Chain A
Amino acid sequence: NAGVTQTPKFQVLKTGQSMTLQCAQDMNHNSMYWYRQDPGMGLRLIYYSASEGTTDKGEVPNGYNVSRLNKREFSLRLESAAPSQTSVYFCASSESFLNTGELFFGEGSRLTVL
C-alpha cells in the first residue's frame, strides 16, 4: 500500500525555470494538501483541495499554482522558480476536510533553486 507518493524526490532548478511536483494518493481520500518545510518555520500550507474539483489558497500561495486532476492526484506548479522557493515540499491527504487532524504525508520533494 503506497499511501501518498510524490515525484520527483529531488530537483535542482535555475531561477526562472518552471516545474511541476506530482502527488498521488491511493487511500480514496477526499482532501489533499501541499506544504513547504523550511528550517525553523515548521510546515506551512501552500494550497489545498478540500474535495475533487476545488482548490484554495493556504498560508503561502504566492508563486505557486495547483491542479486537482482527479480524486487521486494533486499537482503543484512553479511557473517561474525563485531562490526563495528552495524548500522541501510535502503533499498530504486526509479522509475529509473536516478531519484534517489525521494527515497522511508523502516522503517529500527537495527542491533547490539556484
Chain B
Amino acid sequence: GQQLNQSPQSMFIQEGEDVSMNCTSSSIFNTWLWYKQDPGEGPVLLIALYKAGELTSNGRLTAQFGITRKDSFLNISASIPSDVGIYFCAGQSFGNEKLTFGTGTRLTIIP
C-alpha cells in the first residue's frame, strides 16, 4: 500500500522558535492535509491543500503542496506552548478516496 514518511519523528524546541516538518510519499497525491492531535484528543484538521505548488496559511501555520505531488511541508512560526502535540500529514490520491496518514511528528516545547 501507499506509504507516507514523515520527518522528523520528534522535535524538542524552545518557545518562540520556528518549526519545520515534512512528509514524502512513494506515490502521487491530489490532496494533502495536515492534522494536529492534542494530548488525549482526536486529530483536528489544520490545513488542506488541493493543488500542486499551493501555499496556504492558517495563522502562524503555513503548508505547501510540493510540485512533484509527492511531498508536503508544514511550518510553524514563533511557537507557543499550545503548539505541543502530534502533527500528522495525510494524503489522498486519484481513484482512492481513503486517506493515508503519516506516522506523525511529536512536538515538545522546552520551558
A contact set with B: CB distance below 8 Å: 4, 35, 40-45, 48, 50, 58-59, 90, 92, 97-98, 100-103, 105-108
Contacts and interface: CB of A to CB of B under 8 A. Distances in A.
Interface of B: 1, 4, 6, 9, 31, 33, 35, 40-45, 48, 88, 90, 92, 97-99, 101-104
Most chain-B Cβ atoms within 10 A of its Cβ — which of A40, A41, A58, A105? A105
Contacts of B103: 40-42
12 contacts: A40-B9, A42-B88, A42-B103, A43-B88, A43-B90, A44-B101, A90-B42, A90-B43, A92-B42, A101-B33, A101-B48, A107-B40
Contacts of B9: 40
Nearest to A31: B97
A100 B42 contact: no
A42 B102 contact: yes
A100 B99 contact: yes
B97 A97 contact: yes
Contacts of B31: 101
Contacts of A103: 35, 43, 45, 99
Contacts of B43: 43, 90, 103, 105
Given A101-B31, A101-B48, A43 B101 contact: yes
A44 B48 CA distance: 20
